[in-house]
Chains A and B, each alone.
Chain A
Amino acid sequence: MIAWGTLAVFVLCMGALLAVGAWAMRWRPGNMDQLEDWGLAGRQFGALLLGLIVAGDIYTAYTYIAVPAYLYGAGAIGLFAVPYTIVANLIMFIVMPRLWSLFRQGGHITSADFVRARFGSRPLALCMALTGIAATIPYIALQMYGLEICLAQMGLHPEVFLILFFAVFAVYTYISGLRVAALLAVVKDGLIAVMIVTGFLYLMATLGGMQSIFHAAALRLPSHSVLLAPAQFPTYVTLAIGSLLALFLYPHALTGVLSAKDAAAVERGALLMPVFSFLLLLLSLFGFAALAAGVHPGALFGVNYGANLAIPALLARVFPPWFTGFAFAAIGIGALVPASIMSIAAANLFARNIYREFFRPNLAPDEEAAAAKLASLVVKVGALAFVLAAQDTGVIQYVINFQLLGGVWILQTLPAVLLGLYTTWFHRWALLAGWGVSMALGTWMFFSQHPFSTSYPLVFAGHTYTVYAALLALLVNLALAAALTPLCRRLRTPAVSPASVPAEAPIPVPVGAAE
């Protein structure tokens, strides 16, 4: 059954946004045949705009759909996202300005560029690029899933319309790269903020205030509590730490940060982030409001969306249709914008660190940009296949696992990328070994669970601790890299200084940025 009122407002809002996007193509124009212009919007954004872009980029369907759904289904454990983003803001504040400076200095646009120059290792750079792409695909899939369930809730055939929306957005991305995504990210921040704040106040008013929402949630949760069970402490803490360390390793987060005009803009932009952490906290409580409102999400169009449908179902049930349509448009654009930036970031990695590096070393800048544009389409199709395959096999219990799986992989680039900002002590072979072992281990831990899960039951001294696989794998990664570094040094006869750019193929500083 199609909800016509909701649908009309949704279509109106989406149409307006796409019109803004069309206008954005002419906003601060650049040379779309340069990867730095297409893929980083020409590194031109000041503090305020940068803060809004990064927020529009890292607050995704993960925030709007997956986190509240996790609270709806599993209670307080889902709130790990709040300490995660609070501390992640500090990483943007403290570490990212340094990253911006080092990347600018070397003319790097991806983490693989940086690693290649910093450690003088092509294989290590390739591993970083592959990890970035692999981690991005489930994250884009999560965005698609978020949009899909909103469409299904409105009574539209989810798969058909999902493909339609993504096709439109893919064309936008193809033509004008990060520019459209950046401008829409700012618009999106506004829509989402309005939706969350008014939605929250409305829920408070209709569901009898905070106290009765928490009370009803506690009654209906399987654990009958809105607090953590002591056994969940290690899970809560490791999920928060693993996620916060992973956030600014994601290619799309780096792309957002690197579009700043200087390092100070990154630092000042970080001052805006707590606002979005606050919105995330409000929105996570929508999960409890869904419990209090007695929402029972289930199957639509023959697909069982389970708890993941909690927020769309709540919006459709409790709010007037026009607000629901507006909220779905906000969530929809909130999924499409990050998906677009993610596909740009993955495409940058492919074009520069795989295609040019290994297949076409003499690639002209315009050919490189063309390869990236094409890759951005391929990545989107890959993510679409991922989400359709995952839901056909019925393995999606909590869609948050998509993002958490990406986190398991991307976190393994931490020793080379984040620690690499501060030290070149690690030997590149040791980094490579640590990366390889931890990737295999993290992936195995995910697939060894039934249903697949990134929470791994670690048995230690007779106790079982359920912890986030990403962090466990990272510890193995770091231990291995640290232990093998002295060994590799001894094995290797006078080495090329790891900090130097290898002489045989220097990375050219991209042109076109300075104009």
Chain B
Amino acid sequence: MRIAPKYWYLVFLIPCVALLLPPFFNNDNPALAGMPFFYWYQLVWLLVTAALMVGIVLLRRRGRGAV
């Protein structure tokens, strides 16, 4: 199944929801390298969001190359 490129952006709803529901990550544990969960959880989503942005640009470029 192919998803039209304009719907690709919907994937960003995941980090938005994940970052804006603090009750689910307002914890000390599990800590990572001395960093409470609250802090490194947000760092992880930063990286995931960046990867998604790059992924979309690459996917679109590949789609264009195929035509």
Contact = CB atoms under 8 A, between A and B. Distances in A.
A190 B12 CA distance: 29
B54 to A, nearest CB: 6
Interface string B3-37: 00000010010011001111100111001011110
Nearest to A241: B20
B19 A90 contact: no
B33 A270 contact: no
Interface in A205-260: 209-214, 226-228, 230, 233, 236-237, 240-241
A228 B36 CA distance: 12
B45 A89 contact: no
A79 B50 contact: no
Interface in B34-56: 34-36, 38-39, 42-43, 45-47, 49-50, 53-54
Contacts of A281: 39, 42-43, 46
A87 B48 CA distance: 12
A281 B49 CA distance: 15
Interface in A74-121: 76, 79, 82-83, 86-87, 89-90, 93-94
Contact of B12 (A90, A209, A211): A90
A210 B22 contact: no
A282 B3 CA distance: 37
A268 interface: yes
Interface stretch (A13-21, A271-279, A401-409): A271-279
B39 A79 contact: yes
Contacts of B54: 271
Interface string A28-60: 000000000000000000000000000000000
B31, B38, B39, B57: which has the most chain A beta carbons within 10 Å? B39
Contact of A86 (B22, B31, B39, B45): B45
Nearest to A213: B34
A90 B49 contact: yes
Contacts of B12: 90, 94
Classify chain B: how many residues form its interface, as a range. 20 to 34
A268 B60 CA distance: 12
A189 interface: no
Contacts of A82: 42, 46
A214 B34 contact: yes
A148 interface: no
A368 interface: no
B53 A271 contact: yes
Contacts of A76: 26, 38
A86 B28 contact: no
Contacts of A210: 33-35
A209 B36 CA distance: 13
Contacts of B49: 86-87, 89-90, 274
Given A76-B38, A227-B28, A281-B43, A274 B22 contact: no
Contacts of A236: 22
B46 A87 contact: no
Contact of B38 (A86, A93, A226): A226
Nearest to B21: A237
Contact of A278 (B19, B22, B33, B46): B46
Contacts of B39: 79, 226, 281, 285
B19 A86 contact: yes
A82 B47 CA distance: 12
A93 to B, nearest CB: 5
B49 to A, nearest CB: 5
A164 to B, nearest CB: 38
Contacts of A94: 9, 12
A209 B37 CA distance: 16
A214 B35 contact: yes
Given A227-B28, A228-B22, A87 B42 contact: no
Contacts of B43: 278, 281
A212 B36 CA distance: 11
Contacts of B47: 274
A25 to B, nearest CB: 35
Contact of B27 (A87, A227, A233): A227
A209 B34 contact: yes
Contact of B20 (A79, A230, A240, A268): A240
A214 B36 contact: yes
A209 B42 CA distance: 20
By Cβ-Cβ distance, the 7 closest A-B pairs, closest first, are: A211-B34, A210-B34, A274-B50, A83-B19, A228-B26, A82-B42, A233-B22
20 contacts: A82-B46, A83-B20, A86-B15, A86-B45, A86-B46, A210-B33, A214-B35, A226-B36, A226-B38, A228-B22, A230-B23, A230-B26, A233-B22, A237-B20, A237-B21, A240-B19, A271-B53, A274-B46, A274-B49, A281-B43
Given A87-B16, A94-B12, A278-B43, 14 more contacts: A76-B26, A79-B42, A83-B19, A89-B49, A89-B50, A89-B53, A210-B35, A211-B31, A212-B34, A214-B34, A214-B35, A226-B36, A227-B38, A228-B22
